[in-house]
Structure 1
Amino acid sequence: MENDILRDDIASFIKEGQIEFTKFANKVFFITGATGLIGSLTIRTLLYLNKVEKLNIKIIAGIRNEEKAEKIYRSYLPDKALSFYKVNLGVDKIDITGKIDFIIHAASTTSSKVMINNPVETIRTAVGGTRDVLELARKNNIESMLYISSMEIYGQVFKKNKILESDLGYIDLTNPRSSYSEGKRMCEMLCTAYYTQYGLNVIAARLAQTFGPGILPTENRVFAQFAKSAIKGEDIVLHTRGLSEGNYIYTMDAISAIFVLLLKGKNGEAYNVSNENNHTTIRNMAKMVAEEFSGGKSRVVVDISEVNWGYAPDVKMWLDNSKLKSLGWRADIGLRESYNRMIMYMKQG
């Protein structure tokens, strides 16, 4: 049975009518990273859409761990619209028979620990995996492919104004964690290359930090750590000074952007996916969560180790979303409500 909070989110999003979902009728989607946050939410949305609109959409979910996939999709396993394709991107060859109409490439390393301890594998998964997915898209002459990129592609941008898609900054190549951000840059370059050389319909979505209902129990990124601490009434511990300016977006607002870009995005280009109102420092966000959601039990504590490669360097950027908004997209959910709904989701289990 789907969590009530998440089900309500998906139902409300579809009911809004912001997306022309009928254009996906009888289409086949291949979605990588199907056990991650973005991949799993996109798949759940499409399956629910099938249920209420009878669109006969077929979904091939790219996974690496069958046991994890069965847990996430346990209530959907009888649904014949969903099938799993096991693949270790960057290592295994993708060999899918049959027509594919849309691809959402959401597979990526998300753990800082893995980025630091296994930078070679991080790059191989990103670059090798993306190349193979692009080849699959080219051979299938797909209608559209969306590459899920990240705001970390910008690195450190020394600019006071909001960050446009053309404003790339500095990435420290001596930091092993840069295997993620530099890998994302190379993947976008591959998308550009396939668009330029082969005319492939491919777009990149540079997501701000995305959270809300649908996060996995194992999620350990900073937004989840803050929420878990507040739920338990424990101190929120910062391992940096918390000066980085975060850019955040609610889960279903991000899913909405994905569908808008598939249908309306300009091929060969990248789009910031952010809520400009959800912009704050890490420290101020921690303070808000402690004050609003811990019942007065949590404090914000700073504990900085002398050397810690595990965190991205302090950045001061504010992602401009005007390019995406020009396609008719909008972000609806603010930062406090994002936490409110995510914490309700986490408590419900």
Structure 2
Amino acid sequence: MFDLKAEAHTVAQSPVVPWQKLSGATVLITGVTGLIGSACARVLLERNRTEATGIRVVGLARDAKRAAHALEGYDAQDGLMIVEGDLLDGAVDGLRPDYLIHSACPTASKFFAEHPVETADAIVLGTRHMLELARTAVVKGFVYVSSMEVYGDGNGEPGLEHLLAEGDVGYVNPTSVRSCYPEGKRMAEQYCAAYASEYGVPASTVRLAQTFGPGIPKNDTRLFAMCARNAMAGKDIVLKTAGTSTRMYLYTADAITAILTVLLKGDPGAVYNAANPSTYSSVRQMAEMVATLFPDKGIRVRCELDPSAPYPPEHHLPLNVAALEALGWQPTVDLPRMYENLVQYLED
């Protein structure tokens, strides 16, 4: 059994994070039922348990019961308050948080393709609403959780010869329905920069590589989860693309230290890539690595191309993480261990 609380306890001792800034602070986290939001909340609550820092964690969720389940074992005595509502319905308008972590966002490609309007609205309008709350509350820090997908196609060829710095965004076709996600993320990042410039809101952005680990929904349909489940069951891993896209990955716990680092140390209006350079690989190489974790099951990686599958076009995204490293952050978990921990969690 993988112990999420034990991992959160370890992250809550990270020397990278200037924890003293959060002492007695109220931290509003959106999307607290999601992987990132729930992990952020868990770490802050564990910090309270171990160091009695008096952090008040306010979790915004559309479903309070789901949020309570995601944060099972924590309650008001630990500093937790769950607020039920949507990003746009005013549920948190009366709050005056000291810090705001905005992680709420759809994450499934199928949802993007079927609900592009709702996806774009949640990203763009939701972020605008949270920034307005941050402005009126005069927060000390705001971090927006963005995605590597803002880079679009990225580099023309795979390889680490040219790392993509935060300004090296690539082409995204604005007329593709699925572009509601990367284009929405780009506009949300622009709002962060605009609010920092015009209103002095200390809003920074952390751009995550594909992030996963224990805590994902057990029925997650994304490729990394499919690879893990198929391998556990001894089934071939079947890709619906050629698997030639290359990217970096990031373990959930490393993403949380990145988010907290940017929240507390980041420059207003700035963007920071967060990725583990050691994980850089093609989608097919990643799938083949997963198969090797189960050598006795004879798992093969096969490609059955499906042009209608709602995946992004071929892309190459070797991210430059120098700006985040300059704040003292370093990734700690490589790709094999990411999958080992994920499999242990899925076996529970």
So what's the TM-score if we normalise by structure 2? 0.95
- 1:100 paired with 2:100, answer no
Match of 1:59 in 2: 57
Match of 1:335 in 2: 335
Match of 2:23 in 1: 25
Alignment of 1:5-16 (within 5 A): 5-16=3-14
Equivalent-residue separation in structure 1 for 2:226 and 2:250 (angstroms): 17
User: How far off its partner does 1:304 sit?
Assistant: 1.1
Q: Residues 311 and 249 of structure 1: is their aligned pair in 2 closer, same or farther, counting only changes over 3 Å?
A: same
Alignment of 1:1-349 (within 5 A): 4-77=2-75, 79=77, 81-90=79-88, 92-158=89-155, 161-293=162-294, 295-308=296-309, 310-347=310-347, 349=348
Contact 2:276/2:331, CA 8 A, preserved across alignment: yes
User: How far off its partner does 1:307 sit?
Assistant: 2.8
Contact 1:94/1:136, CA 8 A, preserved across alignment: no
Identical residues among aligned pairs (%): 37
Contact 2:275/2:319, CA 8 A, preserved across alignment: yes
User: How far off its partner does 1:98 sit?
Assistant: 4.2
Q: What is the identity, as a one-letter code, of the residue corresponding to 1:115?
A: F
Question: Secondary structure of 1:254's match?
Answer: helix
Contact 1:233/1:294, CA 8 A, preserved across alignment: no
Q: What is the identity, as a one-letter code, of the residue corresponding to 2:4?
A: L
User: How far off its partner does 1:20 sit?
Assistant: 2.2
Deviations 1:253-272 (A, max 9, x none): 11111111111111111000
Specify every segment of 5 or more residues in structure 1 that has no aligned partner in the other structure, as ranges: none
Equivalent-residue separation in structure 2 for 1:70 and 1:186 (angstroms): 31
Deviations 1:38-62 (A, max 9, x none): 0000000011110000011101101
Q: Using the TM superposition, name which of 31-40 and 6-15 deviates more.
A: 6-15
Equivalent-residue separation in structure 1 for 2:318 and 2:209 (angstroms): 10
Q: What is the identity, as a one-letter code, of the residue corresponding to 1:287?
A: E
User: How far off its partner does 1:23 sit?
Assistant: 1.8
User: How far off its partner does 1:94 sit?
Assistant: 4.2
Q: Using the TM superposition, name which of 145-154 and 228-237 deviates more.
A: 228-237
Specify every segment of 5 or more residues in structure 2 that has no aligned partner in the other structure, as ranges: none
Give me the CA root mean square deviation: 1.5
Q: What is the identity, as a one-letter code, of the residue corresponding to 1:211?
A: F
Question: Secondary structure of 2:81's match?
Answer: strand
Q: Residues 313 and 70 of structure 1: is their aligned pair in 2 closer, same or farther, counting only changes over 3 Å?
A: same
Stretches of 4+ aligned residues off by more than 6 angstroms: none
